[in-house]
Amino acid sequence: MFKIIPIYKDYLWGGTKLKTAYGKQSDLDIVAESWELSTHPAGTCLIEVNGQKQSLKTYIKEQGKKVLGSKCNVEDEIPILIKLIDAKDNLSVQVHPDDAYAKRYENDLGKTEMWYVLEAEEGAKLVYGFKKDLTPELFEQYIKENTLTEALNFVDVHKGDTFFITPGTMHAIGKGIVIAEIQQSSNVTYRVYDYGRVGADGKPRELHIDKAKQVTKLTKAEESYVAYTMKECEGYSIGVLAECDYFKVQRIDLKSQIHLVADTKSFHALLVTEGSITVKNELEVLSASKGDSIFIPAATGSYQVEGRGEILLSTL
């Protein structure tokens, strides 16, 4: 079992909450994203093996696919990516393609993702699809006239809210929100609207209008929030936040302890979002607190989590 050493990103819309409230240690002034589980080329997490830092990707290559589990459909890559995101300002309005489109035009995977809201300032909102049906012509007109926000579906956001974003859904995290994001391991994003901002080079950030027009769903958004219930058990409560072809994410509210089993089908990824915990099996003991992530290889078997707090458990 390994504590993850994350990768940090300093995008212009980010803040400092991941450093001040989630224990992230970085020389960056802004920490917009903390990649908590990743073997993606744009950022591979590290682990500590026998006192030495090592790439998680290297470890997986050395140990083989058994570390990832039989549900993994690739050889030496983790097919999901887990992030903490601190939006001090609005993110760009964007859309992701599905696997077929991404493979054909980007030689990459599409992106299905979910958001679990950790913090939301009063009045915080995010974008989830459109508030009405659009025709391709009307969609293009909104883009050309720089009035796309008139058609977007803005929803109120509160701590504990969960959103599931399928490919083709226009979306954007709003300012004042901290989320945990679990997604396919893909960095393919088509930016459609960016509030007129400029990048570090002083130029407007690139938009991807043509590709976005090909992949965006133009129908009115259905229910945006994911409804989930927490089942009360002795020592904890648990609920499923999202389950799809790519990942399953469960929220665990830990009151004293829970016994879990990492079988041969999938690794376990634990992200502590509140409190402090201890993870132990017959061979190891790991301590973790708010903001920490632990990777438990497939076939590790039984382990116990003790303490008080909130944990997101992600599996394939």
What is the largest distance, in Å, between two alpha-carbon atoms of the chain?
63
Q: What is the mean pLDDT of the chain?
A: 95
| Tokens standing for residue 196 | 């007129």
Strands 93-95 and 152-156: unpaired
* 227-286 tens-digit pLDDT: 999 999 999 999 999 999 999 999 999 999 999 999 999 999 999 999 999 999 999 999
- Structure confidence at residue 304 as a pLDDT band (50, 70, 90): very high
Q: Would you call 205 a catalytic residue per the annotation? A: no
Name residues whose C-beta falls within 8 Å of residue 52's C-beta, 6 or more positions apart in sequence. Answer: none
The answer on pLDDT for 199 being more than 80 is no
pLDDT value at position 197? 84
3-state class of 14 per DSSP? strand
3-state class of 296 per DSSP? strand
Q: Of the given ranges (196-200, 206-210, 223-227, 293-297), which has the lowest mean pLDDT?
A: 196-200
pLDDT value at position 200? 74
| Tokens standing for residue 262 | 């990492």
Q: Which amino acid is at 48?
A: E
pLDDT value at position 50? 79
Identified catalytic residue from 104, 191, 251, 308: 191
Closest CA to 95 of 212, 14, 8: 212
Q: Are 153 and 221 in contact (CB under 8 A)?
A: yes
Phi and psi at residue 276, to the nearest 5°: -135, 145
Q: Cα–Cα distance between 143 and 84 in angstroms, integer?
A: 30
* 135-169 tens-digit pLDDT: 999 999 998 888 999 999 999 999 999 999 999 99
